[in-house]
């Protein structure tokens, strides 16, 4: 009798492990689809912005060319690490009509943004999202850096939370510029 009880406990333990693994697999798949970057299904919001220097900037002006919206902060180490890559991408692709717009999040301050721009020689327009409205329109951006690559037809084709890989981003931009 005791032997059969041990077998039953062992059998029950195997079932519990299988059930736990199944639940973990389902949760993992659900999490993947929940957090997966957008793959061109969503239209980028139409925005009217003002740069930190007071110049109007309208996303409609980018029509027909891809662009990158970069949500960043002066106190974000990953954001600061991306700046040289963004500057290089802008140098490399701006002649082909590609645009980069840096959107400093609402907790930042314009004097700090300007100081960072000057110190890091940022060569693309910077906007201060003082109200958080721009981040809201892109879906409540809460993590910096967050990058949205937008195709020439205005679709978000890639979203990256955290630092991007420069060579991967360069390839994505090239593909978009080829059409």
Residue 159 and residue 141 in contact, taking contact as beta carbons nearer than 8 Å:
no
Is residue 66 domain-shared with residue 121, that is, in the same domain?
Answer: yes
Q: Say which residues have a Cβ less than 8 Å from residue 54's Cβ, sequence separation at least 6.
A: none
| pLDDT tops 70 at residue 73 | yes
pTM as predicted:
0.77
Average pLDDT over residues 90-111: 97
- Peptide bond between residue 145 and the one before it cis (omega within 30 degrees of 0): yes
* pLDDT of amino acid 143: 94
Report the CATH number at residue 127. 3.40.30.10
How many domains are contained in the chain?
2
Is residue 146 domain-shared with residue 86, that is, in the same domain?
Answer: yes
Give residue 31's pLDDT band: very low, low, confident or very high (50, 70, 90). very low
Is residue 149 domain-shared with residue 85, that is, in the same domain?
Answer: yes
In angstroms, rounded to a whole number, what is the distance separating the alpha carbons of residues 33 and 51?
A: 35
| pLDDT tops 70 at residue 159 | yes
Average pLDDT over residues 141-158: 95
Give the domain extent around 90: 42-178
Is residue 127 domain-shared with residue 59, that is, in the same domain?
Answer: yes
In angstroms, rounded to a whole number, what is the distance separating the alpha carbons of residues 113 and 129?
A: 11
Residue 144 and residue 105 in contact, taking contact as beta carbons nearer than 8 Å:
yes
* pLDDT of amino acid 140: 83
């Amino acid at each position: 009798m005791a032997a059969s009880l041990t077998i039953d406990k062992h059998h029950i333990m195997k079932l519990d492990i299988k059930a736990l693994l199944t639940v973990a697999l389902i949760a993992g798949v659900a999490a993947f689809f929940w957090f997966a970057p957008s793959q061109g299904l969503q239209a980028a919001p139409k925005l009217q912005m003002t740069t930190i220097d007071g110049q109007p900037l309208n996303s409609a002006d980018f029509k027909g060319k891809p662009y990158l919206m970069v949500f960043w902060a002066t106190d974000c180490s990953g954001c600061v690490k991306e700046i040289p890559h963004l500057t290089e991408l802008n140098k490399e692709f701006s002649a082909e009509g590609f645009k980069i717009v840096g959107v400093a999040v609402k907790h930042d301050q314009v004097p700090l943004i300007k100081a960072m721009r000057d110190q890091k020689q940022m060569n693309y327009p910077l906007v201060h999202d003082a109200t958080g409205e721009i981040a809201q329109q892109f879906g409540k951006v809460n993590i910096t850096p967050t990058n949205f690559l937008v195709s020439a037809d205005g679709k978000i084709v890639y979203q990256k939370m955290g630092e991007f890989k420069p060579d991967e981003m360069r390839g994505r931009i090239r593909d978009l510029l080829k059409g």
